[in-house]
Chain A
């Protein structure tokens, strides 16, 4: 009965709030009330406090009123008989626990005690494109709060269903074996796994570390900390999701909670004994609509309401039906998914290693590698083409040429992947759209790494995967299964050839390159003027209900994942889906790209929030953004130009704000003249803020963009008639304030200073 849970949660909340008070008083006495306090690389101040109370805490002293509020939310424990109701009171105590936990973690940051550390711990991540580099995280630190770059990077996966939700695992599994199994089961379903807490000092983080499981952003397994309090980070992540994608403001507590209940498919899995503090934290999670599943015997709360399905489920591990602990672990995970109502899209792929998009980010380091294709020492390519129906034998997989089994370890050989598809609704224009999926499809296999595309593909097979029997033909199995499952609407038949034979490799590489050239020219020829219809993209409306993307040939979606052809293909696949063709209609302003048809749909799909959209202006009715944008473009009035900040850039910008802070203004489906979230390839379009002066307006740009898009940007500069332009654009290594920027622009003679005023 839940009076027991109420009692323990309320007791836990009282204790933790007391602890927060003691710690805060000590910190204020030692560091002073003005001492700065923040979570690193995150916007929204201390996010749970900001979301729930609207307080913008930046100094220790400002935590005092938060603590007082947390204390107000406390209640006495229910009496043994003639009790007064306790559900609302328990939920309040849960909220009080979350606020107190965030206070404590924030103070710990002040003392340098957060994130926690485990000797010898190495976090995976930050090294995906350079798998052999040291990467970040080699210093024994656990994760702490998820930074904003990652939050936004995951945004699109959360909305398009690739990442169906997140699991917050608290405690320690029955055995290391069970711990690994649980996490693998979650990974298989692409569920983000957050780890925290311990039982008698031992945490699931220890268990996974001992078993050599990679933890970090790239593997979807994030170790937050060894105590229960670090569960505040997943809650902060959830709060920030609502603020980032839902367009909610700090203090809109109820909206944020309901948003999470409806849209963020998260649950808590409590492994091992549940103590008072865990009950209290669980009550906090339930406030967000996240159910709690325990693998021990605890009272259940079955009626629904605050959560969508059951609130608390008890599934004592040893009582789960199953022959082995591994089977029990599998059933436990299934129950979690059922309880939260997580929708899982799973394709059975007949290969000998686990498969799921949670494995997409896995890194195969050189020392763990069996064989690689492409990279420094060999050439790999991938090419998808449509051919006649009768030329395709569905499911046929051919390996042409020698395999790698006889080669020494860490070998490098040439390979080509040729995917041939046929379908009644297939169009030649969809070839590149489908081809780009190869990256995601191949990466989903555990122990396989795929980087790049076209003729710069770089694939590695790890030793573990090879030992389990992963062979070349399995690339074909993966591609056949996934293309049929995901694109069955346009693809009727798929056959795959894996080519390692040198002569054939050379022949097909040339054919592929011809095709790439043809496509480049074809896409470059497609202009906004040449088409009558643009596409809508409402994929993110599950997250940002008033945001609508309008995708044209010359302006891709702000997430970078959907260009015009993608939308066209998506519409073919799902005619009632998120991408709908929309006639431009009457031209209201050609320069600014304002069209009657587009305004109409924007009004309708934004529920009246947006009245007018211009495709090519940042100053006048700019397009809104959800939150998954790759870059933010923002007016710098003093410089008569704009800056472009990459979401990978954590440094300060001349606007006096970091990406994280700026993102709050750009996202959430709000129209803010002078601020816009865009996909980075929009920078290269002739229609990039063309109404406001185009690319020549760019006065500052994150250096990461300059580096990763060097060739494309150089081409833009030449198109704009100023080949030196890119070197005139400042970046964070040159200046991070307006004065420095102006000095730089004067020195290099940046064109923006001579252009007409922007407004």
Chain B
């Protein structure tokens, strides 16, 4: 059967660059996805494939068929899901762990260039974990918060501290079902153990363990990542940003930060503003230095610093294909190995920075928070040095859209009632009444979270936009994180104007009253934890019910590319 050609993207900017790639014969993830026949069994379309031991792989496609060890279809499906959840939780949580160590270094005065930018957030996080604040300095409290965070990863018994933030009814359900996570690392390790050959073979039992692991991410690693990022880099609030390849500058040194963590990228934000480096760029013939982001690193610096986003996951190769990028600085997660191959056709330097991530063909400048400023400057200088080698560029014209990102849960609380109704005492002071009322009175039919990735197996962005546009027309407010959020931004859905002509009448009233876009950019994919916090606060405030499950919210993450967002 002839394979159907996938429409690569609904984004004209992407098509423009892809046309060039095709003309030049440069392969991309789009072309490879087209060329690669996905294994129907491995992708779960038809049956399941088990590779947990070396007796297989076992392909189980029919009812009653079992693997070599006798594992049933249900068991294999549950084990595969469990392992995906473990991998995803590990990735998000490890991200959180690194931030915890950064905070620890800051509290000890050992982290060059970092500081506690949001003390109010520090107090509120401390309060959530019962850490005393009265009469203590920010540094003292930060040290306790950091140690508490670090301890939760290796904790073996008891419960994760953040669980107490959830509605009491939900906590009870977790405890009754034995899925309250004990420690972050422990849950990941246990699922890996239990899904190892010859261990847990009862599908529902495996799934319960998976739930516990997922909770250890959502109410553990991810939540720590979000909260500590806010403490160190500021709690986001709406600002005007820009999205898509058009944000690249024709006459400036373009540096792209890509990956997931804000730690290094925040320092690069500082470095590109260094007058000395700007002068250096000018000495090389550029008019200045332009920083842009891709993927969730982009979300992190866009919602806090207004740094433009060159796009989401599938734009990483495309940015290089414009020929206008001097350096792409990557940290962790969602970084395609193909980057160096694409970069080989241009002057672009791929710089890996995480001690956990090295790529063949890339320059490795290992990041160390103790010398963060120096390292950031070194990276920027390298990028500038590349500028004279730039050849012809193909930045798509008029290919960027203004966006308003930065809806932290604190800001959501504020925007619904002003400073006097919102405040940073967790839970006690939430004021989501207008949102709750809007749902209760039927102006809004609910809230949907669009989270997750782009997958070249499906048309870029369409996977998000066809769902989002339909939801909006039906008076469903959309909250988005990660690549879904960036997709919405590209098509103007992260602007207040979209609330006037792209939505149902009830949602329009809400958008007009508050001045919000119909799709709220909540942050990066670890910021899915912000959604959990908001929902907990809504349930606690009451009106729709006293549990998260009572609030009409759904989440969608169709055909994710990576495991964390699943």
Is A391 engaged at the interface, CB distance under 8 Å to the other chain? no
Assess A2 versus B513: contact at CB under 8 Å? Given A84-B240, A305-B437, A306-B433: yes
Residue A302, interface by CB 8 Å: yes
With contacts A82-B240, A305-B437 known, is A3 near B512, CB below 8 A? yes
Q: Mark B324-337, 1 if CB is under 8 A from A, else 0.
A: 00000000000000
A100 to chain B, nearest CB (A): 15
Whether B416 contacts A87 by the Cβ 8 Å rule is yes
The segment from B90-98, B274-282, B418-426 found at the interface with A is B418-426
> Are A86's CB and B515's CB within 8 A?
yes
> Is B362 in contact with chain A by the CB < 8 A criterion?
no
Contact B419 A92 (CB under 8 A): yes
- Contact (Cβ within 8 A) B515 A303: no
Contact residues of A between 378 and 430, Cβ < 8 Å to B: none
Say how far A92's CB is from chain B's closest CB, in angstroms: 5
Distance (whole angstroms) from the CB of B359 to the closest CB of chain A: 37
Across the interface, do B414 and A88 meet the contact criterion of CB distance under 8 Å? yes
Known: A91-B421, A304-B441, A306-B434. A84 touches B515 (CB 8 A): yes
B450-503 with Cβ < 8 A to chain A: 495-497, 500
Give the size of the chain A interface in residues (CB under 8 angstroms): 33
Q: Is A287 among interface residues, defined by CB-CB distance under 8 A?
A: yes
B429 at the interface (CB under 8 A from A): yes
Instruction: Tell me, in angstroms, the Cα distance from A556 to B238 when the chains sit together.
Output: 57
* Complex CA–CA separation, A85 to B402 (angstroms): 15
Cβ of B539 within 8 Å of any chain A Cβ, yes or no, is no
Asked whether, in the complex, the Cβ of A305 is within 8 Å of the Cβ of B433, the reply is yes
**Which of B417, B423, B497, B509 has a CB less than 8 Å from the CB of A91?**
B417
Are A302 and B422 in contact, with the CB atoms below 8 A? no
Q: Quick check: A306 and B417 within 8 Å, CB to CB?
A: yes
Q: Is B239 an interface residue (CB 8 A)?
A: yes
Q: A666 to chain B: closest CB distance in Å?
A: 28
B435 touches A87 (CB 8 A): no
A-B contact count (CB 8 A): 113
| A281–chain B nearest beta-carbon distance, Å | 15
Q: How far is the CB of A313 from chain B (nearest CB, A)?
A: 13
Partner of A85, one of B438, B509, B516: B516
For B500, B512, B515, the residue with the greatest tally of chain A CB atoms inside 10 Å of its CB is B515
Residues of A within 8 A of B497 (CB): 81-82
B377 contacts chain A at the CB level, 8 A cutoff:
no
Interfacial chain A residues near B423, Cβ < 8 Å: 254
Measured between beta carbons, the chain A residues less than 8 angstroms from B53 are: none
Least CB separation from B237: chain A residue: A84
State in angstroms the CA–CA spacing of A79 and B230 once bound together: 27
- Alpha-carbon separation in the docked complex, A85 to B438 (Å): 17
A303-B509 in contact (CB<8A) = yes
Q: Which residues of B contact A2 (CB under 8 A)?
A: 512-513, 515
Distance between Cα atoms of A73 and B418 in the complex (Å): 9
In the assembled complex, B415 has its CB within 8 A of some CB on chain A: yes
Residue of A whose beta carbon sits closest to that of B433: A305
Within the assembled complex, what's the spacing in Å between the Cα atoms of A303 and B443? 8
A83 near B515: Cβ-Cβ < 8 Å: yes
- How far, in whole Å, are A311 and B418 apart by their CA atoms in the complex? 14
Contact partner of B514 (CB less than 8 A), chosen from A81, A87, A254, is A87
* Beta-carbon contact of B434 and A83 below 8 Å: no
Task: Find the A residue at minimum CB distance from B429.
Answer: A254
Interface residues on B, range: 35 or more
Could you say which residues of chain B place their CB within 8 Å of the CB of A94? 418
Asked whether B239 lies within 8 Å of A84 as measured between CB atoms, the reply is yes
For residue A178, CB closer than 8 A to chain B, the reply is no
With CB as the reference atom, state the residue of chain A lying closest to B516: A85
In the bound complex, how far is the Cα of B420 from the Cα of A254, in angstroms? 6
What CA separation (Å) do A490 and B272 show in the bound complex?
A: 83
A6 at the interface (CB under 8 A from B): yes
The answer to whether B419 touches A73 (Cβ under 8 A) is yes
Q: How far is the CA of A84 from the CA of B499 in the complex (A)?
A: 12
Taken together as a complex, chains A and B put the C-alpha atoms of A92 and B423 apart, in Å, by 13
Separation of A82 and B443 alpha carbons in the complex (Å): 23
Residues of B within 8 A of A253 (CB): 420
With a cutoff of 8 Å between Cβ atoms, the chain A residues found around residue B414 in the complex are 88
Q: In the assembled complex, which residues on chain A have CB atoms less than 8 Å from the CB atom of B418?
A: 87-92, 94-95, 287, 306
Chain A contacts for B404, CB-based, 8 A: 82-85
A85-B238, A85-B516, A91-B421 known; A305+B443 contact, CB < 8 A: no
Which residues of chain A come closer than 8 Å to B422, judged between CB atoms? Answer: 88
Q: Is the CB of A311 within 8 A of B429?
A: no
User: Is A462 in the interface zone, CB < 8 Å from B?
Assistant: no
B421 CB contacts on chain A under 8 angstroms: 91, 254, 257-258, 287, 306
- The residue in chain A whose Cβ has the minimal distance to the Cβ of B517 is A85
Q: Which residues of chain B have C-beta atoms less than 8 A from A85's C-beta?
A: 238, 404, 415, 496, 514-516
Measured CA separation A179–B414 after assembly (Å):
39
B267 interfacial by beta-carbon distance below 8 Å: no
Chain A residues near B403 (CB-CB < 8 A): 82
B434 touches A304 (CB 8 A): yes
- A503 interface residue per 8 A CB criterion: no
Given known contacts A82-B240, A254-B421, A304-B441, is B433 in contact with A87 (CB within 8 Å)? Answer: no
8 CB contacts below 8 A, A to B, read A2-B515, A52-B420, A82-B403, A87-B515, A88-B422, A95-B420, A253-B420, A257-B421
* Interface residues of B, Cβ cutoff 8 Å to A: 238-240, 402-404, 414-423, 429, 431, 433-438, 441, 443, 495-497, 500, 509-510, 512-516
Known: A83-B404, A301-B513. 20 other contacts (CB 8 A): A52-B420, A81-B496, A81-B497, A82-B404, A82-B496, A83-B496, A84-B240, A85-B514, A87-B434, A87-B515, A92-B418, A254-B421, A287-B418, A303-B438, A303-B513, A304-B434, A305-B434, A305-B437, A306-B421, A306-B433
Give the 7 A-B CB pairs with smallest separation, nearest first.
A305-B434, A91-B418, A86-B515, A85-B515, A84-B238, A87-B514, A88-B415
